[in-house]
Amino acid sequence: MATLNLQREIPINSAYDVIVVGGGPSGCTAAAGAAREGARTLLVEQTGSLGGMGTSALVPAWCPFSDKEKIIYCGLAEKVFTASKAGMAHIDPKAMDWVAIDPEHLKRVYDDLVTEYGATVLFNTFMSGVEAQDGKVSAIILSNKAGLTAYTAKVFVDCTGDADLSAWAGAEFEQGDESSDLQPATHCFTISNINQEAYFSGENLHPGNKNSPIYQITNEGKYPLIPDTHACNTLIGPGTVGFNAGHIWNVDNTRPETVSKAMMHGRKIAKAFRDALAEYVPEVFGNSFLVQTGSLMGIRETRRIIGDYRLVLDDYLNLRSFEDEICRNSYFIDVHHSKSLAERSKQKDGHEEWEKTSYRLKPGESHGIPYRCLTPKALTNVLVAGRSISCDRSVQGSVRVMPVCLAMGEAAGTAAAMTTDIPACDVH
């Protein structure tokens, strides 16, 4: 690609000790954690709301917060989870696993979390460049309606989900599997005006139920836009069901053209689901209405940094603990399948085949995540939290989900604040 060398003067903002880029779950707790420790903290978010996958992407339910015996994602993670449940009348306050999300309520929860500790938020703001030399980031370039501005800080926390800040600063990373293939994305959506009583009394749509109507829908082929039997769904409000359903392959969140194409395709998939369910499950969805599709694509993986420690499957299976452990994790290895296995999943035993690759820990079991997974090898004043931490691909299929991202974010933000008094700002 040809390049254009432009020189221009842009203003510099040096008001912050810690800058967190990305306002998803890890970014929110990172900003709250840093501000709580007294650091002047800025949180940069490219959309108009915080929360990422649980809000803008419409993921309808929290992955489990427990190890099947007790809650293990505590601290700010538990605070967010408790506040999320408190706004939903049909949710048992004691529920810990696969709890529904009201995305509008959760947006306010994150707003309150970040602002109550004193962090500043910039919405509708993109990171457009990174200035780094000799392993240290000196500034990031932000763009919004005010134009281009350079922001300096002592420590930067990369919660972009794609390790953008780290990669642009020169950090090494891995992406996808050995051939760079990525897990499929999902464009989540919401359907309202369903028959709630029939929804609970009828067959569960999840493919784990061998009587799920999704098998008839995909096998008969009347709705070819529905790609496979992936059909997670949750009642998120009165007569309203949130869907994490269907897969879209060849989507790379670091390549905007692939995401743009997927967003348009995802909206068609959502409409096909509504129409298919209205035909095949009319007692529940006959009068239903497709309310909304996510304003963000549900992305499962892109870059993973090369950090000072690389968490691997052996660590997961052997329930390893670490001296520099920042949290525990018990979510199963949930690597979403290839397109060929998606075709197999249209048969009931195909879903079982996918389940066999999903390693699951026993009740009460968990493994640790060391702080060194958050520190890119090549950078001295950058931390990473969220799905881009240093790990192999199989473990990424576990640590990518929202509860553990909340826990990692708090650790990163707290550490960032603790290092702001160190002259070299070495977070390793």
pLDDT band at residue 356 using 50, 70 and 90 as cut-offs: low
Taking 70 as the threshold, does the pLDDT of residue 418 lie above it?
yes
Q: How many CB atoms lie within 10 A of CB 340?
A: 8
Tens of pLDDT, residues 174-197: 998 888 889 999 999 999 999 999
Mean pLDDT across the chain, nearest whole number?
A: 94
Rounded Cα–Cα distance for residues 28 and 409 (Å):
7
Rounded Cα–Cα distance for residues 79 and 396 (Å):
24
In the numeric block, the tokens 């309310």 are attached to 291
SS3 344: helix
Angle between helix 76-86 and helix 103-116 axes, rounded to 10 deg: 140
Taking 80 as the threshold, does the pLDDT of residue 338 lie above it?
no
Q: What is the mean pLDDT of residues 129-141?
A: 97
Task: Please list, in sequence order, all residues whose beta carbon lies within 8 angstroms of the beta carbon of residue 124, skipping any fewer than 6 positions away.
Answer: 45, 46, 47, 48, 144, 145
Rounded Cα–Cα distance for residues 198 and 10 (Å):
59
Task: Please list, in sequence order, all residues whose beta carbon lies within 8 angstroms of the beta carbon of residue 176, skipping any fewer than 6 positions away.
Answer: 182, 183, 301, 302, 393
Tens of pLDDT, residues 357-403: 678 999 999 999 999 999 999 899 999 999 999 999 999 999 999 99
Tokens of 145: 């309606």
pLDDT band at residue 5 using 50, 70 and 90 as cut-offs: confident
User: Chain centroid to CA 130: how far?
Assistant: 23
Pairing mode, if any, of strands 155-158 and 18-21? parallel
Taking 80 as the threshold, does the pLDDT of residue 149 lie above it?
yes
pLDDT band at residue 87 using 50, 70 and 90 as cut-offs: confident
Q: What is the dihedral of CA 147, 153, 158, 159, to 10 degrees?
A: -70
**Among residues of the chain, what percentage have pLDDT more than 70?**
94
Burial class (CB in 10 A: 0-12, 13-18, 19+), 377: middle
Buried b (16+ CB within 10 A) or exposed e, 74-87: bbbbbbbbebbbee
Task: Please list, in sequence order, all residues whose beta carbon lies within 8 angstroms of the beta carbon of residue 356, skipping any fewer than 6 positions away.
Answer: none
Fill in the DSSP letter of residue 225. Answer: T
User: Chain centroid to CA 12: how far?
Assistant: 31
pLDDT band at residue 346 using 50, 70 and 90 as cut-offs: low
Tens of pLDDT, residues 255-271: 999 999 999 999 999 99
